Amino acid sequence: MKLTHDIPKSLLNVLNQLYELEQKIKRHGDSANLERNITRMKSAFEELSSESGLFYEDPMGQPFKETRTDVDATISGTSTENLFVVEVIKPIIRVGNRKYNQVVQKGIVVVESK
């Protein structure tokens, strides 16, 4: 399977919006039961082709150090050691399937020392 980086930016934008929707529902509740629609849309992206799809990963709470290159981090606080993701501005987007994939959008995150 050939994984390509050339994913149209508009597709990545839609996935970013989907992620924000999901986060808002988590924070403010889902009175209209939108989660089901979001799940379907996410599945549709994962099944873009028989071999390869797009999906995002939420790095919230994950550890961060300088060798990590799937996120662009801004460090909050004074310490630069023992860092964890405390805020996600954009999620990590990957192309492929869950077993074999490649990052196509780095996550934009804020990290802080615990």
Residues that bind other proteins (CB under 8 A): 5, 66-67, 69, 72-78, 80, 87, 103-106, 110
Amino acid identity at 74 = T
Residue (17 or 76) nearer to other proteins, CB: 76
Amino acid identity at 111 = V
Residue (42 or 104) nearer to other proteins, CB: 104
Residue (49 or 69) nearer to other proteins, CB: 69
Rounded distance, CA 83 to CA 68, Å? 11
End-to-end CA distance of the chain: 40
We find the least distance from the C-beta atom of residue 36 to other proteins, in angstroms, to be 31
Amino acid identity at 59 = P
Contact 18/10 with Cβ under 8 angstroms? Answer: no
We find the least distance from the C-beta atom of residue 38 to other proteins, in angstroms, to be 25
Residue (9 or 36) nearer to other proteins, CB: 9
We find the least distance from the C-beta atom of residue 37 to other proteins, in angstroms, to be 28
We find the least distance from the C-beta atom of residue 25 to other proteins, in angstroms, to be 24
Altogether, the residues listed in the chain come to a count of 114
- Which tokens go with 38? 């979001």
